[in-house]
Chains A and B, each alone.
Chain A
Amino acid sequence: MQRIGVFVCHCGTNIAATVDVAQVAETLGKEPGVVLATDYPYMCSQSGQDMIENAIREQKLTGVVICSCSPRMHEATFRKTVARAGLNPYLLEIANVREQCSWVHKDREEATQKAIILGRAAIAKVTLNAPLVAGESPVVKRALVIGGGIAGIQTALDIADAGFEVDIVEKEATIGGKMAQLDKTFPTLDCAACILTPKMVDAAQHEKINILSYSEVEAVGGFVGSFRVKIRRKARYVDETKCTGCGLCTEKCPQKAVPNPFNLGLDTRRAIAIPFAQAVPKVAYIDPNYCTMLKTGKCGVCSKVCTVGAIDYKQQDTLEEREYGAIVAATGYRPISLEKYGEYAYGQSPDVVTSLELERLMNAAGPTGGTLLRPSDRTHPKTIVFVQCVGSRCEEDGRGKPYCSKICCMYTAKHAMLIREKYPDTEVYVFYIDVRTPGKNFDEFYRRAVEEYGVHYITGQVGKIVPENGKLLVQGSDLLAGMQPKIAADLVVLAAAIEPDPSARSLATLLTASMDTNDFFTEAHPKLRPVESPTAGVFLSGACQGPKDIPETVAQAGAAAAKVIGLLSRDHIVCNPCVATPNEQMCNGCSSCEKVCPYGAITYADKEFRMPDRTTALRRVAQVNPAVCQGCGACTVACPSGAMDLLGFSNKQIMAEVDAICR
């Protein structure tokens, strides 16, 4: 005999203002099996939870229905409440009468009726709920960090310092990421390389950290606690264990016309190269698109000059499979392509550059050795125009990004300031829509650029840029002055919007981690779980979750590391008990379920069954590994006989809900 308790929450006035909670409790109290129905201002409060606990004990309840906010909010809370009173936590159902009722309907009568129906559906379901016991699965005490920028490096260092092994997978030939390409950092103006490269060295030398550079994640299997990851180690044609990083080969290679990716193509390098002086690992690699030996079989200069015999033209990609307990995505960002912004003449004139290119032009290790020269004629630019929000806050389809890229205001202030300091004879104009400087010492920094360094900030956008006689004619608007300034500039710097690295999309699919419409990874909760992905065991670090500056990235990297450490320090984790379960009596052994299972959780076994005529027969039946099953339910529909069912969301439970709603 069912003894169900119904608890209707007012949520202050959030629910009670639109839904007649007393009427809901009264009506639901008359449902068959319900022995108690009551309402209370805050069910999730200590006293509300105490009330539920007491009711379970006193009324000997066999099931609990709570009409409250979304189960995504408080299901876990109330499960614990129910468990404290000695009831199985899965004998609880929540009717979502806040997000899906009181907050979306205005008419009190309608909302009350709907709340009653939702409550009935929950009662119908809870009547069929079975006590579920969550299983346990072991945790592999090693973490994988995907991406070796500042986010990945920091996460790896923090995890490794706690004593756990970490692998960093980086698709480029060196770790360091975008930060390695920067010149100075705001608002303190320390040199990026000076603060980053020691961390890169720390990572390389840490006994718990293993750097897999020039590698990519190819496949991810398993689940939280024991992911199985296939990593492709791309052929670098140089034996990493032998190369000493002497650099002789990179000087002797006859193929000189290779655009240098580290300097964003602003200069060239050889076909065999070490990405930059402080690269980690400091090992050369050959770009097979340019290497004469790999393309034609004739050359071999690098092999001849290498004193340790590290060059191996026959090297192939290799695949490694490793197990991890946790995975951190730290895939970072890149500036968007500006080819659709014809009005800014990017691509038409070499003197229109992106801010990241300017970083290289100002960097002592850059193509100009740190002297600011325009790319076209290598002269000192005297008039420089910065354009903000190029592609940011842009709602046009396919052209820009609807969000604010967050870092541009500050780095532009930094660039303007550095230029004015180094070359006081230069006039610097910044066209902006808003200057956004929330952050410690950020607004002071921007004001210094204006007040101390005399940078001309102009409220308004640039309409078009026309290259003419070696100059760039910039036509903008000055909204405060009501003017349309026309500036003949020598150099124009575009603050291109940033977007997630394109590799993130396919990675998200491999990780089954969700993404938003802009391809940023989605966090499990935007406020309360900002460094976790909704997929258990997958964590987020840095700009792959949203635009971030360096201090924020480092903070988030540390937070992600803390979450990973928390996971890895456990020996076992509790599994989701809502998994598929086959009814062996009904199973045909047809393998349909196995074919749709994304986790490989289903296997088959030949089992003996007693038949109705008292004989025994050997039958092939499906078996589900509950530690591997994630409970999607694909198998339950693929199964023609209905032998496969999903605990917690069984066919019968869902149909009971359907019946309760439609009756």
Chain B
Amino acid sequence: MQVNGAWQPTIVAFCCNWCSYAGADLTGTNRLAYPANVKIIRIPCSCRLNPLFILRAFGRGADGVILCGCHPGDCHYTTGNYYARRRMTLLFSMLDFLGIERERTRVEWVSAAEGAKFAAVMNDFVRQITVLGENKRLEDFRCK
């Protein structure tokens, strides 16, 4: 994303409704700042995240995608994040195998009580993506 002629990373954060979305709300309630590059999409559970969505985001120009869910063992639906963990592990490994920067994707477990952690994670992720620069390897240039 270009802001005043300078490149700014676009970050899509998928947050599960029960823990991480609530954690992100708590970040707001506690007025803990993180960069505005992060845009949150609410999904019911981390296991709702289809790899299609991640690739779609990269294709449309996202520079980083992060999935936040309940801590393993705390899933509102009991087992959802366990499936998400396997799926993302394999998907990330595949992206790395294809030479796409491993650092562009991340999974973090953020509970509804971890507002501070949410802010810290987002600050760190944005910093990391900024260092990494623009997503070139997985963009769909027709969408630019």
Contact = CB atoms under 8 A, between A and B. Distances in A.
In their complex, do chains A and B touch, with some C-beta pair under 8 Å? yes
Nearest to A639: B50
A292 interface: no
Contact of B45 (A72, A121, A514, A634): A634
Interface string A142-173: 00000000000000000000000000000000
A99 to B, nearest CB: 3
A153 to B, nearest CB: 29
A655 B56 contact: yes
A117 B39 contact: yes
A598 B18 contact: no
Interface residues of A, number: 53
Interface in A73-124: 73, 96, 98-101, 103-107, 110-111, 113-114, 117-118, 121
A638 B111 contact: no
B43 A637 contact: no
A662 interface: yes
B21 A514 contact: no
Contacts of B24: 99-100
Nearest to B74: A514
Interface string B1-39: 001000000101000011101101111110111111001
A70 B41 contact: no
B112 interface: yes
A657 interface: yes
Given A111-B36, A509-B78, A662-B12, A514 B18 contact: yes
A512 B36 contact: no
Given A630-B77, A632-B77, A634-B83, A103 B29 contact: yes
A634 B79 contact: yes
Contacts of B26: 99
Given A105-B36, A633-B43, A662 B48 contact: no
B113 interface: yes
B48 A637 contact: yes
A632 B32 CA distance: 29
Interface string A624-635: 000000111110
A354 interface: no
B62 interface: yes
A351 B25 CA distance: 49
B106 interface: no
A534 B16 CA distance: 14
Contact of B76 (A96, A121, A535): A535
A72 to B, nearest CB: 6
B21 A632 contact: no
Given A99-B24, A512-B77, A632-B77, A661 B12 contact: yes
Contacts of A636: 48, 50
Residue of B27, B73, B77 most packed against chain A (CB within 10 A): B77
A202 interface: no
A632 B43 CA distance: 9
Interface string A512-532: 101111000010000000000
A514 to B, nearest CB: 6
B143 to A, nearest CB: 7
Contacts of B21: 70, 72
B131 interface: no
B25 A662 contact: no
B41 A534 contact: no
A651 B54 CA distance: 12
Contact of B49 (A70, A101, A630, A637): A637
Nearest to B15: A100
Contacts of B62: 658, 661-662
A361 B70 CA distance: 44
B33 A522 contact: no
Contacts of B80: 598, 632-634
Contact of A662 (B28, B42, B57, B87): B57
B3 to A, nearest CB: 8
B113 to A, nearest CB: 5
A663 interface: yes
Interface string B86-122: 0100000000000000000000000111100001000
Nearest to B75: A512
B112 A633 contact: no
A576 B56 CA distance: 28
Nearest to A659: B60
A40 interface: no
Contacts of A114: 36, 39
B144 to A, nearest CB: 10
A661 B12 CA distance: 8
A235 interface: no
B138 to A, nearest CB: 12
B47 interface: yes
A71 interface: yes
B31 A598 contact: no
Contacts of B60: 658-659, 662-663
A649 to B, nearest CB: 6
A578 interface: yes
A100 B34 CA distance: 10
Contacts of A488: none
Contact of B27 (A104, A106, A655): A104
A658 to B, nearest CB: 5
A596 interface: yes
Contacts of A407: none
A294 interface: no
Contacts of B25: 70, 72-73, 96, 99-100
13 contacts: A104-B33, A105-B35, A117-B39, A514-B111, A516-B111, A596-B79, A598-B79, A631-B44, A633-B48, A634-B77, A637-B48, A637-B49, A658-B53
Interface of B: 3, 10, 12, 17-19, 21-22, 24-29, 31-36, 39-45, 47-53, 56-57, 60-62, 70, 73-80, 83, 87, 111-114, 119, 143
